[in-house]
Structure 1
Amino acid sequence: MKVVSLVPSITEALFDLGLTEKEIVGRTKFCIHPEEKIKNVAVIGGTKNINIDKIKALQPDLILANKEENIKEQVEALMDEHKVIVTNVETIEDNYYLLKSLGKTFNKEEKAQLFNLKIYEILNQAKISSNVKVAYLIWKNPYMTIGSDTFIHKILTEIGFENIFKDKTRYPEIQTEDLAEADIIMLSSEPFPFKEKHIEELREFYPEKKIMIVDGEAFSWYGTHIAKCEHYFKELIFEVKSIII
C-alpha cells in the first residue's frame, strides 16, 4: 500500500509502527521524524499548502489528513480521486483510537497497542501533586494560547497542570496582562520558535514568575510521540516541583 501523510505526527507514527519508505511515498516539509528515514520520502508541500499535482503523481492508495492541520478545500479536492482518511485528535482517548485505527489499517495492531500502553503509563506516572496554574503560549505578535478543546490542554491537564485559559476554546489571542494569574508561563518551542530572548521580554512584566521554554512536540504531537517523552516529562515535573516547594 502506498501512503501519503499530510500530518507530521502521523508520518512519525507510521514509521514507528513499522512502515517503510517503500510504503510512505509522500509527506509534508514539516514531517521531520524520524530524520534518517523521512529524507527518502517525497515532499508534497506544507500542511496548509499541499501540492495536489505532486500527490496525484505519486498515485497513493491512501492519504492521511487531519481536520485541524490541513485545509478543508485541499483535502476535499484529493477526495475526488483518492481514498482519504481525515483524523481529528483532541483528547487522549482520540489518540488511543487513532493508533488503534492505524494499527488495524496497516496490520500493525500489536505494535499500536504497545505504544498506547506506553503512552498511558507515561501520563499516569508524570503527575504534579499540587495545583500549578500555567499559561501555555504558542504564538507571539499577537500572543496566542490554548483553550480547553485542544490536545495540548488535555496533556497539560493529564499531568496535573491547570490551564488558566480553560474557559477559552481553540487558540485565543491574549494580552500580556492576561498572564497575571499563572504560576508558570510556558513558551512552546513550536509553532512559534520561542527563545530565551522572549523569556526576558516577559520577565520585564513578570520578574517574579517562572517563565520557561517547553518542548512543543511533547505537548502537541499526537500519535506515537508521547511514548518517547517519558524522560522529558519526568524532568519537567522535577523542575516544576523544585519551583513550587
Structure 2
Amino acid sequence: MSQGALPEIPWIFTDASDLLMWSWVTEHFAARIQGREADDPDNPGLRNVLAYHWELLDLMRMHQGVPRQLVEGTSNAFDLAERSVREHVGKCYDTRLGYRAFAGSLAHQFTLATGERVDVTPLLGTRCSVTVLLTDKSSRTVAGDFSVDHYRWRIDTAAERLQIVPEHVTRITNRSEVADLAVRAVRHDAYSGIGRMYQEEPRPGCSGRPGFTMGTVDHAGAVPCPIHESGLEQDVLN
C-alpha cells in the first residue's frame, strides 16, 4: 500500500566490520535497525545481510535509568523494517510531539481478526459499526463515534466509551460504506441512494411507508423488506 511522500527519517548510519546499524534518536525515543549478516566464503568482501532487526526504545519513561523497549521485530528487507519503525512511532507517541508526519497513514493501519489489513483513516470521526469476536467465539456489534487511541480503537456511544482491540475485530463499517453496500446489493432500478428509501410507491408485502419525497417508500426502523431488501445483511440495514 502506497504511503505517499513521507519525510525521510534522519538515520545515523554506522558501518563497521561487525556492526551495520541505522539509529534515529530524539529526546523522546530511540529507534534502531540492525542488519544481521552472514559470512560468504565465496565472496569475502561482499556483505550478506540476512535480516534486519528493528526496535523502538522509550526515553521518556525509562526503567531504572535504562531505555524501555516498546516493540521490536525482524524484517527481511530494510524498507519493511523502516516501515515498521514509522508505524510504531506513529502509534506510540502523541501527535503533539510532532512525529506523526513520519508515520502518515501507517499510524491508522491495523490487522483484524480475519487477517485483513485495514486503514481506518477515512473512518475517523464518523459513526461506525464494529463487530468484535468474543472469547466464546460469538460476536458482538457495537456502534458509535469512532476514533483511534494509540493501538486501540475507541467507540463512543451515548451511554459509554468502549476500548476495542483491533485484532479482535472481524468487521468495521460506517454509514457511507453501508450506503455503498446497499447500492450494490439492493434493486438498482429503485434505490434512491439515501438510507433505506426507494423510488416506488408502497405496495402489498412491502414493510416500508410513504417517504417524505413523493413517489418514494422509506423503510427506516422497519423490518427487512422482502421486496426491496431481500438478501441484505442486518448490519447493512441498521
Please tell me the TM-score bracket, short chain as reference: under 0.3
- Asked which structure has the greater RCO (Cα within 8 Å, sep 6+), the reply is 1
Q: Mark the structure with the bigger radius of gyration.
A: 2
TM-score normalized with structure 2 length: 0.23
Q: Which has the higher helix share?
A: 1
TM-score normalized with structure 1 length: 0.22
